[in-house]
Structure formats: structure tokens, C-alpha cells
Amino acid sequence: MKVLITGAAGFIGSHTSERLQEEGYKVTGVDNFSDYYDVSLKKKNALALKEKGVVILDADLRNPETYSNLASDFHFIIHFAAQPGISSSSTFEQYLTNNVIATQKLLEFAHRNKKLKHFFNIGTSSIYGLEATFPETEAPKPASNYGVTKLAAEQLVLAEARTGMLKASSLRLYSVYGPRERPEKLYTKLIGCGFRNTVFPLFDGSEKHLRSFTYVGDIVDGIYKAVQKYDLLNAEIINLGTEEEHTTKEGIDIVQELLGKEIKLEVTPKRPGDQWRTSANIDKARKLLGYDPCTSLREGLQHQIDWYKANFL
């Protein structure tokens, strides 16, 4: 089976590409290697994928020329590519073009793939809003440009499924961490500060935020199960994450314990639109996919620390 994965050189996309290639799928990855963060990190991910047989194309989904360079016989499309996160340095236009316009162009390309069995949109718990503790039937209340545009992209995909144009679904991911996590994200930045004895900037009040911190391996396992059971998922939304909740402070404490040192924290102003609680309701994923995330936060953070030591020290 041939799979197209967008955003393949990124954090979760690279792990998913790796897993599917190992499981016998023939994976082609597309990434535009944007400078949102250090491009060399994504190129390192891409090199590791190429060594395992994944084809990686440097291309932008917003550019019509991208699609003329792609085959049109994919069986699955898994769409990770997006302008990520909540960032004051990202403009609304960047969120709009990368998350909405690019998704629409990719859907147009999907129609040319006559062998296509399923289109998987990769969504986010940010779609729910400031609190993400709900089943998939809850009305979305996004509170950031990121959440708003990811909801719009998700609805573009699901509209295709509702009207019978494509078989498609959306997987909403919860607070993913682990090896290859982006450098501005909580744990990569925190671990780096711990090793380098630098100050970690903590958003005011965020130490009390509750999160379903989900290890990337458990997320990829859910995505793989979805690909295997795609015929059950048309027009469905599925939450993927752990039911276990931790405060940000608890996560910081675990990192400090594993490193054997205290990390100096500096409180910075609150970040508008930041979620105060995520708790993955995965009843539907358990029922349809047999999904059962099992990596503890301590275990996953040890994996991330080991990865950081091997790659940055």
C-alpha cells in the first residue's frame, strides 16, 4: 500500500512515516521545511527517514506545482502539515494559508487518486477550546487562530466525507511529547535548560494547567490502528491521547528528578488562547480501534531525555 504523509519531516509526522514504512507500507513524505523552527532539525529527521526507504519531497502544499511532482496512486493520505501551535510570531495569514488553503489544495489532489481508500486529517485538541475534556460530539469552541484554522481544515475534510466525495476522517491529538519534539515546546525546551543550566520561561499560571501529556509512540500506535481499520472511520472524528492527567508543574518536577537537578524558572506573561485543561476522552478510540495508550509520563520523558542527550550534547 502506498501512503502520502504531509509534514513528514516534523515531530509526529516523522515518527508516523517511520512506523508505517517499518510495517510494510511504501511511504512518500512531503514537507516544506519552513523556518518556523531550526530547519536543520527537520532535515535530520528527513535523513533518518530516507535511510529507512521513505521518499521525502521538499515541497509546499500551497504551490500547485507540488502536485504535478506527485504520483496519483496513493491508497492513503495522512495530513499533518500545518502552521503549528499558539505563537505571537505567527500571523493569521500564515495560519490561514498553511492550515486551510493548503488542506483544500491537498483535497483537490486527493480526488485524482483513484485508488485512494481514506484521507486522514490530523486535528488537535485545540479545536475544543480552552478546555478539552469532551467526547467528539461536543461543539468546538476554539480560542486561538491555530484552533480556528485547524477546525476549518477539519471541516473541509469531513465535508468531503459527508457528501461522498472521499472516504475521510479526522484524528484529534492531545498534548504530544517525546523524541523529536519541536524546540519551542515544553519538554524539549525544559530538558535543554536543565542540561545547559539556563533559565526556563514559564507562562504565568501555566504550572497549574492540566494536560493529557501523550507519548508520541502511543499517538503513532493510534494512527497505525486507524489506518488498519479505515473502513470503520468514514466521516468520523476520533480523539487520540492518554486519559492520565498531569499538571505542568508535575511534568517539570519529573524532568528535574530524572536529570537530578533543579531548573531555574522565570515567570513570563500569560499566553492568550492557551488551554487550561486537556483530558482525552478516548472511549470512541477504544471501541473502534482497540486503542490503549500505555506509556507513563516518567517513562516517556526518560526516552525524550535520552534522545536529547544523543542529539544535542
**Catalytic (active-site) positions:** 146
Alpha-carbon span 1 to 105, nearest angstrom: 23
Task: For residues 288 and 121, give the distance between their C-alpha atoms in angstroms, rounded to a whole number.
Answer: 17
Buried b (16+ CB within 10 A) or exposed e, 130-151: bbbebebeeebebbbbbbbbbb
C-alpha–C-alpha distance, residues 35 and 69, integer Å: 23
Q: Which amino acid appears at position 187 of this protein?
A: Y
C-alpha cell at 25: 507500507
DSSP conformation letters of 257-279: HHHTS---EEEEPPPTT--SEE-
Q: Per 3-state DSSP, what percentage of the chain is helix, strand, and coil (rounded to 5)?
A: 45, 20, 40
